[in-house]
């Protein structure tokens, strides 16, 4: 069920982002009096799930068709709206432009006044950048509305009073469970996310941690980020929290053992497990075996026999870690949320661009992921704050990726137009066709590689 929720969130998020991106191109084209032949959510090679066109004031629909109805050809000024079956993007086919649709036949005809290729360079640049601009503005708007609706709450590093449990790569490089990061180089990160970002971008720097009542200095090796990527760690660290039950699932082992909300689990078979991560690791080791679970209820200690499932689960929900620590939260009024959202979106873009350099390393390329990786970023239970946060983040990624100077990407078209504006020489239609084909094959290769990585990682779990 959890995976289905992730898939639903992924499809909804990508659909919204593709619609917003292509709508940016559409609105810019219409503003420049340029015809838009097609507007599609998802690609439609060989067949479309749905085609729609407004003719004489009425919508005409065509389902599961390989081509539009013949009579639609009499209304070329009207945009064909459609839903494809290949959920890896979408397109807005602007008349007289070589794009993802790879329709080169129209380019063999004389240029018409209502076509993209007949517009001035500055208008063509506006049409190309429309999608990127709208994606970025949409991200800023989402961040602003999130801050207005829910505010901003986070846990400062020093407020995690029990410290953190670290991944094996961190432990191999001198971290110890329970450490609290104080500084990375000369910077003092406010949150765990800030610390991880600074370490990924600052190989070879010294990290100072609070260990008990003392401090310790750790020298990160120059290949620390590559070690993390090679190990494919799920997370760098997580807050140590007591295992306090928030809710018991009906019919689960915990329900049969009569555990209750508020119970604090502290031992398994007599061995102390003061924190949640330790308890879950131990429960997994005792999967489908009867154990003695020790817990406190209203200050009194009890033990109860329980048999974890084959996945080491007992069927309880953990009380939120935010209830154990002092967090920082800031509320925003409507007008305050707008500049705050712009600032958050800009910071997110800058951070992503800085980390993008990792993609060009050996381990970074290996960890490049496709739809599976993106889907795993969503939670397995529906959370609107998390959904909108991920959608805003993906909108920024989509905007940035599209301005990369790759033929057939928006960035590739932008380079050609800027070249024309500087040199006063327009690349030939034949050159643009070939560049579009090269860019399309680059895009397909990247998609196959990224999703292939996901498939290999998934299969590795079974072999």
Which CATH number is 203's domain given? 2.30.42.10
Query: Is a pLDDT exceeding 60 seen at residue 131?
Result: yes
Q: Quick one: 388 and 276 in the same domain?
A: no
Q: What is the pLDDT of residues 82-106, one digit of tens each?
A: 999 988 778 889 988 876 555 556 6
Q: How confident is residue 444, by pLDDT bands cut at 50, 70 and 90?
A: confident
Q: For residue 391, what are the domain limits?
A: 1-32+123-151+333-422
Q: Quick one: 235 and 261 in the same domain?
A: no
Statement: the pTM of the whole predicted model exceeds 0.85? no
Length of the chain: 463
Q: CB of 206 within 8 A of CB of 219? A: yes
Selected residue with higher pLDDT from 256 and 463: 256
Residue 17 is predicted with a pLDDT of: 92
Looking at the domain assignment, is residue 213 inside a domain? Answer: yes
Among 218, 239, 260, residue at a domain's last position: 239
Q: What is the CA radius of gyration of the chain?
A: 27
* DSSP three-state, residue 100: coil
Q: Quick one: 174 and 291 in the same domain?
A: no
Q: What is the pLDDT of residues 198-229, one digit of tens each?
A: 888 765 578 999 998 899 999 888 888 888 88
Compute the mean pLDDT over every residue in the chain, rounded to the nearest whole number: 86
Q: Quick one: 398 and 341 in the same domain?
A: yes
Q: CB of 396 within 8 A of CB of 137? A: no
Residue 427 is predicted with a pLDDT of: 81
Q: CB of 261 within 8 A of CB of 315? A: no
Q: Give mean pLDDT, residues 311-330.
A: 86
Q: How confident is residue 425, by pLDDT bands cut at 50, 70 and 90?
A: confident
Q: What is the pLDDT of residues 258-316, one digit of tens each?
A: 988 988 999 999 899 889 888 888 999 988 899 899 999 998 999 999 999 888 888 88
Among 213, 239, 265, residue at a domain's last position: 239
Q: Give mean pLDDT, residues 34-50.
A: 91
* DSSP three-state, residue 303: strand
Name the DSSP class of 118: G
Looking at the domain assignment, is residue 453 inside a domain? Answer: no
Q: What is the pLDDT of residues 159-181, one digit of tens each?
A: 988 999 999 999 999 999 999 99
Q: Nearest Cα to 305, choosing from 319, 289, 317?
A: 289
Task: Give the number of other CB atoms < 10 A from CB of residue 112.
Answer: 13
* DSSP three-state, residue 18: helix
Residue 50 is predicted with a pLDDT of: 93
Q: How far apart are CA 232 and CA 229, in angstroms?
A: 5
Residue 48 is predicted with a pLDDT of: 93
Residue 461 is predicted with a pLDDT of: 67
């Amino acid at each position: 069920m959890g995976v289905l929720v992730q898939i639903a969130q992924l499809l909804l998020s990508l659909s919204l982002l593709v619609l917003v991106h292509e709508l940016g191109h559409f609105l810019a084209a219409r503003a420049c009096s340029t015809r838009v032949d097609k507007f599609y959510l998802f690609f439609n090679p060989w067949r479309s799930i749905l085609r729609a066109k407004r003719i004489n004031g009425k919508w005409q629909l065509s389902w599961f068709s390989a081509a539009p109805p013949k009579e639609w050809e009499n209304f070329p000024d009207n945009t064909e709206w459609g839903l494809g079956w290949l959920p890896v993007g979408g397109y807005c086919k602007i008349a007289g432009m070589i794009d993802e649709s790879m329709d080169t036949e129209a380019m063999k005809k004389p240029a018409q006044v209502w076509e993209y290729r007949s517009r001035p360079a500055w208008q063509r640049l506006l049409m190309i950048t429309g999608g990127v601009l709208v994606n970025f503005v949409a991200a800023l708007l989402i961040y602003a509305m999130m801050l207005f609706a829910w505010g901003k709450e986070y846990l400062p590093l020093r407020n995690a009073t029990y410290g953190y449990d670290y991944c094996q790569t961190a432990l191999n490089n001198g971290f110890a469970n329970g450490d609290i990061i104080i500084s990375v180089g000369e910077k003092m990160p406010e949150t765990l996310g800030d610390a991880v970002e600074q370490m990924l971008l600052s190989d070879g720097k010294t990290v100072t941690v609070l260990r008990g009542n003392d401090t310790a200095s750790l020298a990160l090796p120059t290949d620390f980020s590559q070690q993390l990527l090679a190990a494919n760690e799920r997370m760098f660290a997580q807050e140590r929290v007591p295992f306090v039950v928030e809710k018991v699932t009906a019919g689960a082992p915990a329900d049969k053992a009569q555990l209750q909300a508020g119970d604090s689990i502290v031992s398994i078979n007599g061995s102390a497990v003061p924190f949640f991560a330790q308890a879950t690791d131990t429960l997994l080791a005792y999967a489908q075996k009867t154990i003695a679970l020790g817990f406190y209820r209203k200050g009194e200690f009890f033990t109860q026999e329980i048999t974890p499932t084959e996945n080491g689960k007992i069927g309880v929900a953990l009380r939120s870690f935010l209830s154990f620590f002092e967090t920082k939260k800031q509320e925003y009024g409507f007008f305050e949320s707008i500049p705050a959202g712009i600032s958050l979106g800009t910071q997110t873009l800058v951070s992503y661009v800085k980390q993008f350099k990792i993609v060009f390393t050996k381990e970074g390329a290996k960890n490049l992921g496709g739809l599976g990786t993106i889907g795993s970023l969503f939670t397995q239970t529906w959370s609107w704050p998390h959904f909108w946060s991920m959608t805003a983040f993906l909108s920024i990624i989509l905007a940035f990726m599209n301005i990369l100077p790759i033929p057939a990407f928006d960035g590739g078209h932008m380079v050609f137009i800027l070249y024309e504006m500087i040199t006063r020489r327009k690349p030939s239609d034949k050159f643009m066709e070939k560049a579009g084909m090269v860019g399309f094959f680059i895009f397909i290769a990247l998609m196959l590689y990224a999703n292939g990585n996901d498939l290999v990682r998934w299969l590795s779990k079974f072999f």
